[in-house]
Every structure is written in structure tokens, then in C-alpha cells.
Amino acid sequence: MAFRAQQMFVNLPVKDLKRSMAFFGEIGFEFDMNFTDDNAACMVIGENIYAMLLVEDYFRTFVTKDIANAAATAEAIFALSVESREEVDTVVNRALAAGGKPSSNKADHGFMYQWSFQDVDDHLWEVFYMDMNAAQDPNAAQA
């Protein structure tokens, strides 16, 4: 039997919770205030998908490893699928305007269009649109 989670929570360490919340709020994300306090904020990414932004000292209570220096080390890429190429551009432009940094140039692979940014804590986010009809076309460009 295949495993299927009902929800996903990604836990991310942040240096300044209010700054991170303001940054992601400028992009258009909302927060579930039932799970938000001075140590953590529950950012709603999609239906049943959340990022818990945790102040670094609080994050340390959950791990025994060092916290990665996201400015120097790629810990992960958080890839978000959106509904159009225009939405890719809108989200990344909002992130850049809110203080994020570009982490890649736009890439058009024919069936997939993507662009990436770093948030205010240097975590990597990729926003992409995938045309499923083109993805199934054997003549579409491959990544």
C-alpha cells in the first residue's frame, strides 16, 4: 500500500519572524494565526501544505544538528507549482520587490517555465508552471 500524507508541514528556521512574515505576506501568502506566536508562524502554501517559519532558537529545540547556513549552503529547493507563466513572473517579481534575491534566471523548457528566488533568510524557492499537455508531447523540449 502506498503512503500518502494528509498534510505537509515544512519547518524553516528564520532569523527574524516578523521580517519573514512581512516578506511572505508581500508575495501574497497568508498565515494561520491559530498556529502563530512569537516563536513560529504557520504560512499557508496550498490546500494541506504549510511552512512553519520557526525562530532559530525555537527551531533548535527540534533538531540535534547544526542549522544550515542557507546563504552558503543549498539545503533544499522549495518548488511551488502555479497556474500560468504569468503567475510565475508575478510571484517572483513580488518576492524580489519585497527584498528577496534572484537565485536563477527564468528558464523555459517548452513544457515547463520556471524562475527562482531566495527569501530574506536565503532559503531557495522555485516557482514553476508545467503545461501537462506539452509535457506528454514527445516533441516538447526536455530539461
Distances (CA, A) of 27 to 13, 22, 67, 113, 142: 19, 9, 25, 19, 30
Question: 110 by DSSP, 3-state: which?
Answer: coil
All domains of the chain, ordered by start, with CATH? 1-60 (3.10.180.10), 73-143 (3.10.180.10)
Question: Would you say how long the chain is, in residues?
Answer: 143
Query: Is the predicted pLDDT of residue 138 greater than 90, yes or no?
Result: no
Strand partners, 107: 114
Kindly report the pTM of this predicted structure: 0.90
For the segment 46-85, what is each residue's pLDDT rounded down to a tens digit?
999 999 999 999 999 999 999 999 999 999 999 999 999 9
Q: Using CA atoms in the order 38, 44, 48, 54, what is the torsion angle rounded to 10 degrees?
A: -30
CA distance 31 to 45: 9
